[in-house]
């Protein structure tokens, strides 16, 4: 792989490998930097307006998970000695989060919503609604909302209610006395989750515009009616974010599924981490809420607009304005490589097939499994499941395969964060029809994406009967992404269909080990975590470093979603110091600071944020000039410590020269030259957008597959 976009490497100091470890960037602040890049999409004039609003909502969704998981862990680390996390670090992360959220709401209020209003799409508050609209809203409140509301006035027999994670509520300070003559002042009203947060007004009331009202605006306009005989002196929306990482003691239980099912009932009521209120919330009410949730002042986020912008996705879905969305794109079936009229098994006996999603359809993967289910010669199907969704054609096909009498084994990862309930439900449905379901290895998440089919094949005799000893042949699908048809249209990933005996035998060994937990020989072709993946990657980086010191071609290009593993980072730093040219395309958190004088001058880090979520993991190493001096892998694993030592992961080599070149041409080179969706990282942890009018990797791939 060649790339002439950079100058020759500077001279290398002989003692580079002996230098102390490089100080790394903070992971939490790096995650917030990623969300800044997502938010920047909402500023781009070349992004359709409703999609710009969608990026604003994506930031809110990302921040919810950031607080639920990362900040919760960060708080715990700050409490423990020896973790390297201090209260000052925690305060710095909180300050960065406050700044980002303030920018988000400023962009929402001052740019995105006025632009939508100019397009005739308006969100009307009570003051902006005319008499006819107010009458319609009043009827909606009386018939659809009020019957579901249960206002609670607080007193000793009505204590502060248990508020669920991310649920939206109102707090009100009341004047006067209640029906029993008491002056209890504080009341709480839960906003029903079953109701839409964005309600479209009838077109005939909107004078040619598309008018919307928020559920919170409807409730706010009629809040006083919930407390007859009293006055609402002040009020605010509020929402609390809680620690939602589901923890179970795997050393002290007999059934993981039952333990997780029990844990799901209490997950929504973990430790409070963040409190959101509107900017107009009186200080006495915010202080009261902080006290109730045992939160410090720094955990209070006053927002200038709707609390929980995520639900504004409903406006995007309801608006009639196709010109304000990305142009529709239908992923393409790879007709030349997988003719629809041919059996996929027959085609894989001839050649391996690479699929590049979402530019190419995910349907061939579904068809591969469907063909296996319907083929009487298929004897066994094995598959890993990490995130497949609450509705899944693949799971339905596995259930059907079991009903048809095939041997079906499914490795269901029950601890896939925020997908635990869906995965538990699928596990129970699969077990109910007789499939063999296992949950991986205690203490390790199964994150590998594997689908293996075993088929009986053999020559037939002259009368058409099968030979006495037919052979068994395996077929496999390996992927960088989840078995989820919906996200396959939104995430960039690469899938690999193969009948290669070595890869398939290795995949079968992975399934065998996940079920039996037996000591097996290391796979010959697959790299698996936690056993050999990190070691092999470190070895390849060392090979590249040695080549650089010897003056041979030395090149590393890695595309992953996160780079936070200290061992891999320090190895990359040493390879760069040796003179290797290193390009890292890291979508999210990256702790390696590039461009540090004398340390990481040879390392460039960039992030791509575009229409699709970058998700594929592609790893390229070159340590010489010969054909055997380079290797290219696709992988399920990001370069994080958890993926290397606490997960079941796989990486597999692309050995076919044509497919290898295709992965390079589509999965690496366009991203190194992207000048529209790319951001470059500097030594201080700041990102700079590369350009606004140059080539875009995602757009180039869309055009390639549309032609």
Quick one: which of 269, 171, 281, 271 has its CA closest to 227? Answer: 171
Beta bridge partners of 528: 650
Quick one: which of 351, 348, 429, 353 has its CA closest to 388? Answer: 429
Quick one: which of 22, 63, 65 has its CA closest to 39? Answer: 63
Which is it for strands 231-242 and 647-653: parallel, antiparallel or unpaired? unpaired
Indicate the helix (H) or strand (E) that contains 378. Answer: strand 378-385
Longest dimension (CA), the chain: 98
CB atoms within 10 A of CB 346: 10
3-state secondary structure 472-532: EEEEEEEECCCCCCCHHHCEEEEEEEECCHHHHHHHHHHHHHHHHCCCCCCCCCCEEECCC
Q: Contact 187/151 with Cβ under 8 angstroms? A: yes
Report d(CA 53, CA 122) in Å as an integer. 13
CB atoms within 10 A of CB 548: 25
Q: Contact 496/634 with Cβ under 8 angstroms? A: yes
CA atoms within 13 A on the CB side of 673: 14
Beta bridge partners of 656: none
Contacts of 80 (CB under 8 A, 6+ apart): none
Report d(CA 693, CA 676) in Å as an integer. 6
**Tokens 């002290």 found at:** 252
Please tell me which residue in 356, 447, 477, 540 is annotated as part of the active site: 447
Active site annotation includes 447: yes
Q: What is the dihedral of CA 37, 38, 40, 45, to 10 degrees?
A: 140
Q: Strand, helix or coil at 247? A: coil
Contacts of 500 (CB under 8 A, 6+ apart): 352, 476, 525
Q: Is the dihedral of CA 683, 688, 694, 697 positive or negative?
A: positive
Report d(CA 490, CA 612) in Å as an integer. 5
Report d(CA 182, CA 191) in Å as an integer. 26
Contacts 24+ apart (CB under 8 A), 145-151: 145/192, 145/195, 145/215, 145/218, 145/219, 145/222, 146/222, 146/225, 146/226, 148/192, 148/194, 148/195, 149/189, 149/190, 149/192, 149/219, 149/226, 150/189, 150/190, 151/187, 151/188, 151/189, 151/226, 151/227
Q: Which residues are annotated as catalytic?
A: 447
């Amino acid at each position: 792989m060649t790339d002439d976009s950079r100058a020759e490497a500077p001279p290398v100091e002989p003692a580079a490998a002996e230098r102390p470890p490089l100080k790394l960037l903070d992971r939490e602040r790096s995650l917030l930097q990623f969300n800044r890049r997502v938010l920047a999409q909402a500023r781009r004039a070349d992004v359709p307006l409703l999609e710009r609003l969608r990026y604003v909502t994506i930031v809110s969704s990302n921040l919810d998970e950031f607080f639920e998981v990362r900040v919760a862990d960060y708080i715990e680390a700050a409490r423990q000695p020896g973790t390297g996390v201090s209260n000052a670090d925690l305060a710095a992360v909180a300050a960065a989060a406050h700044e980002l959220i303030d920018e988000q709401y400023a962009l929402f209020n001052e740019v995105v919503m006025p632009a939508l209003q100019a397009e005739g799409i308006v969100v009307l508050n009570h003051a902006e609604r005319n008499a006819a609209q107010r009458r319609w809203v009043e009827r909606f409140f009386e018939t659809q909302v009020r019957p579901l509301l249960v206002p609670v006035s607080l007193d000793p027999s009505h204590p502060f209610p248990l508020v669920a994670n991310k649920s939206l509520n109102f707090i009100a300070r009341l004047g006067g006395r209640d029906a029993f003559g008491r002056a209890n002042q504080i009341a709480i009203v839960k906003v029903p989750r079953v109701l839409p947060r964005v309600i479209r007004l009838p077109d005939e009331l909107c004078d040619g515009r598309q008018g919307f009202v928020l559920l919170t605006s409807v409730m706010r306009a009629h809040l006083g009616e919930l407390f007859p005989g009293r006055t609402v002196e002040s009020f605010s929306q509020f929402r609390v974010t809680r620690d939602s990482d589901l923890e179970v003691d795997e050393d002290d239980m007999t059934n993981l599924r039952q333990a997780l099912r029990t844990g799901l009932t209490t997950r929504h009521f973990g430790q409070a981490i963040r409190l959101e209120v509107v900017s107009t919330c009186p200080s006495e009410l915010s202080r009261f809420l902080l006290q109730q949730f045992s939160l410090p002042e720094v955990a209070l986020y006053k927002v200038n607009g709707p609390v929980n912008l995520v639900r504004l996705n409903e406006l995007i879905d309801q608006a009639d304005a196709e010109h304000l969305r990305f142009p529709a794109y239908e992923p393409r079936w790879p007709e030349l490589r997988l003719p629809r009229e041919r059996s996929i098994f027959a085609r894989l006996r001839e050649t391996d097939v690479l699929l590049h999603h979402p530019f190419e359809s995910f349907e061939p993967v579904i068809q591969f499994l469907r063909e296996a289910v319907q083929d009487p010669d298929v004897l066994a199907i094995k598959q890993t499941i990490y995130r497949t969704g609450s509705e899944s054609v693949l799971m339905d096909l596995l259930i059907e395969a079991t009903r048809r009498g095939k041997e079906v084994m499914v490795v269901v990862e029950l601890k896939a964060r925020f997908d635990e309930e869906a995965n538990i439900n699928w596990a129970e449905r699969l077990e109910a029809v007789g499939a063999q379901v296992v949950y991986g290895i205690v203490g390790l998440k199964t994150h590998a994406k594997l689908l293996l089919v075993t088929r009986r094949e053999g020559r037939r005799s002259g009368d058409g009967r099968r030979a006495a000893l037919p052979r068994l042949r395996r077929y496999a699908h390996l992927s960088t992404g989840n078995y989820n048809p919906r996200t396959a249209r939104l995430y960039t990933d690469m899938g690999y269909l193969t009948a290669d005996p070595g890869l398939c035998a290795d995949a079968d060994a992975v399934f065998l080990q996940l079920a039996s937990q037996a000591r097996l020989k290391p796979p010959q072709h697959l790299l698996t975590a936690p056993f050999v993946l990190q070691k092999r990657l470190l070895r390849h980086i060392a090979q590249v470093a040695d080549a650089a010191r010897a003056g041979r071609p030395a090149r590393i290009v890695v595309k992953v979603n996160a780079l936070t593993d200290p061992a891999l980072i320090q190895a990359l730093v040493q390879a760069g110091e040796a003179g290797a040219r290193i390009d890292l395309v890291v979508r999210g958190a990256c702790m390696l600071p590039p461009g540090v004088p004398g340390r990481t001058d040879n390392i460039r880090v960039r992030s791509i944020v575009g229409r699709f979520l970058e998700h594929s993991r592609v790893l390229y190493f070159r340590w010489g000039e010969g054909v055997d001096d380079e290797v290219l892998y696709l992988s399920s694993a990001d370069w994080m410590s958890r993926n290397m030592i606490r997960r079941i992961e796989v990486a597999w080599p692309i050995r076919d020269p044509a497919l290898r070149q295709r992965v390079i041409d589509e999965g690496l080179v366009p991203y190194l030259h992207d000048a529209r969706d790319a951001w470059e990282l500097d030594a201080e942890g700041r990102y700079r957008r590369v350009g606004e009018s140059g080539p875009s990797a995602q757009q180039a791939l869309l055009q390639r597959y549309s032609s």
